[in-house]
Structure 1
Amino acid sequence: MTVADVGRKAPRRPRPAPGAGRRSPLRVLGMVVVLGFTAFNLLVLYWLIAASFKTPVEIFTKPFALPVRWFQLGKPLRNFAYAWDQAGFGDAFLTTVVLVAASSAAIVLVSAPAAYALTRLGVRGSGPLTNLIAVGMGVPFQTVIIPLFIGLSTVHLTDSLFGLFLVYVALSIPFTVFLLTGFFRSLSDEMEEAAAIDGASPLRTFFAVMLPLARGGLITALILNAIGLWNETLLAIVFLQSQAHFTLARALFTFYGAAEYQSEYGGLIAGVTILVLPMLVLYLVLARRIITGLTLGSGK
């Protein structure tokens, strides 16, 4: 140890972040709020699944008890069979899967090149364009339903799955472009510069270099759009009238009136469960990938 080392002061320890202490009131309050919100959602989920196996009497008299009656009669899936047959969920399920898959893929295919051009190609006016897209995210789609309906009526695309597909893609592009710009900004410049030195065109660089690097962001955008479109109801109600074109959410909306009139509350809740569970399972399976993708996009 030298004389200089002896006289040197030890580095000052960094100050802890606000609320980082073990017994910080803010930290305790935050934990209480998060745990309370989680417990409430788990309770609602339990009630939904349990009620989907109950008779209407059990739903109202024993809302949080385990289902008994249909199991005693040997018909535990009676409510699900009723909802599936009466609401036409079979065709609606297939329609929803195809429509959501096609729409989500088309949204990402359109948004990825747009986000890449805005962030990596030095396009003139890319900053104002990005801000304009961000403003588009804040416009409630309810305010443009009437103009959209009039426009689709003009080209005879109302009550058409293709027309609804176009609406889904158009309304989801601002959010997806804004999301993917964060991913493309966070990517390293070295790979892109190496591709340019090798003589690769911007188009080849995008497909061969940048898209594989942004795979996490693309998957995240695809999953988030799929979850949002699967649960979408209002646009399907406005633009679809024929039962042959119904999505799951649209079929459930129609089924609601008939089930309520017949007091088939168990079948109605089973229909809600059929709609909710696929996306819930998808999110639980891919939650880590979604969170990882979102955090990667905030690198810069």
Structure 2
Amino acid sequence: MTAVNRRRAIDRLDTLLCAAVRAVLWLWVAMMVVLTVWVVLSSLKTNGEVFEDPFGLPKSPQWRNYSVAWSVSGFGQAALSSVTVVAAAALLTMVLATPASYVLARVDRRSASRVITYFAIGMGIPAQALVVPFFLMADDLSTFMTDWVTGWWDDRISLALIYIVLSLPFTVYLLTMYFRSLPTEIEEAAAVDGAGPTRTFVAIMLPLARHGLVTALVLNIVALWNETLFVLIVVGDPQQRTLPATLLELYNTMQYTSDWGGLFAGIVILVMPMILLYLWAGRRIVQAMTQGALK
């Protein structure tokens, strides 16, 4: 076989592989869309319709399922806890990770690469391996604040601090790689014009890195919004737990109440905000992964 024929065979193989991967991805997308539509339709059915006609349309939409899930099952308070904890943790993570990432991206030292490696290693540590240390630290912090400082403590603050620690390795690593993709000529031009490092970072680099910042923020929000393990371990009061833990408790009570329509409504309440957020930020995430400041 000549070199030209081998090249053509490789090109055909690449084309077939790309087509197969594209077909698998579209199949996966179709499955997710069908599953989402099925859950939404099931949330509008009566308990009888859920089992008698699981794939049909609801005969009479049961909007009360959402009111039951929101009020009776405690999703209203859980939603407030989720929004408060996730927003605080995600924003503070960005505040801490953004300047650190910029420094690591611009410092031309061997130690910077070593620090980035440590953050990459931190991404690989399973969350389950940190359950006991985080539980002990959260318990000690609660005791210290209650007995010696404020006289009270909210376990959701401990949960937010844990979320920040868990989110920092990924966020710093992602933003460091993104800042490295931005051209240094822009900073050199700003220095010639008399801008200091702080002004260059705030006024020039942050706007240029907005797609990367949005990507890191959205991915952190999605991950923290769906987190359940540490909520169950750290937050002892069921009234203070977030939506995933409340949904789990609702599922455990289904054997007694059999309110399956309310359970599906709870799933929609939990999942739909993240779907809408990702639909809004999807293009920005793609841009962050595929382009830098200049084309």
- Which of 79, 88, 95 in structure 1 is aligned with 2:81? 95
1:57 positional shift: 2.0
**How many angstroms apart in 2 are the aligned matches of 1:209 and 1:80?**
46
Are 1:268 and 2:263 matched, yes or no?
Answer: yes
Residue in structure 1 matched with residue 132 of structure 2 by the alignment: 146
Residue in structure 2 matched with residue 25 of structure 1 by the alignment: 16
Residue in structure 1 matched with residue 183 of structure 2 by the alignment: 188
Distance 1:293 1:42, change over 3 A: same
- Normalising by structure 2, we get a TM-score of 0.87
Are 1:161 and 2:156 matched, yes or no?
Answer: yes
SS at match of 2:258: coil
Residue in structure 1 matched with residue 116 of structure 2 by the alignment: 130
1:67 positional shift: 0.9
Assess if the C-alpha contact under 8 Å between 2:214 and 2:281 holds in 1: no
Aligned partner of 2:25: which letter? V
Residue in structure 1 matched with residue 95 of structure 2 by the alignment: 109
Distance 1:95 1:37, change over 3 A: same
**How many angstroms apart in 2 are the aligned matches of 1:298 and 1:175?**
22
Are 1:177 and 2:172 matched, yes or no?
Answer: yes
Are 1:285 and 2:280 matched, yes or no?
Answer: yes
**How many angstroms apart in 2 are the aligned matches of 1:251 and 1:180?**
33
1:27 positional shift: 3.5
1:21 positional shift: 8.0
* Matched-pair identity in %: 41
1:193 positional shift: 1.0
Runs of 5+ unmatched residues, structure 2? 144-152
Distance 1:152 1:118, change over 3 A: same
**How many angstroms apart in 1 are the aligned matches of 2:37 and 2:28?**
14
Assess if the C-alpha contact under 8 Å between 2:66 and 2:262 holds in 1: yes
Distance 1:128 1:163, change over 3 A: same
- Which of 209, 217, 221 in structure 2 is aligned with 1:222? 217
**How many angstroms apart in 1 are the aligned matches of 2:217 and 2:8?**
38
SS at match of 1:67: coil
Measured on the aligned residues, the alpha-carbon RMSD in Å equals: 2.4
Residue in structure 2 matched with residue 44 of structure 1 by the alignment: 35
Runs of 5+ unmatched residues, structure 1? 1-11
Distance 1:277 1:132, change over 3 A: same
1:162 positional shift: 0.8
1:256 positional shift: 1.8
**How many angstroms apart in 2 are the aligned matches of 1:130 and 1:186?**
15
The count of corresponding residues between Structure 1 and Structure 2 is 280
Are 1:60 and 2:46 matched, yes or no?
Answer: no
**How many angstroms apart in 2 are the aligned matches of 1:213 and 1:297?**
8
Aligned partner of 1:31: which letter? R
Q: Which has the higher helix share?
A: 2
- Normalising by structure 1, we get a TM-score of 0.86
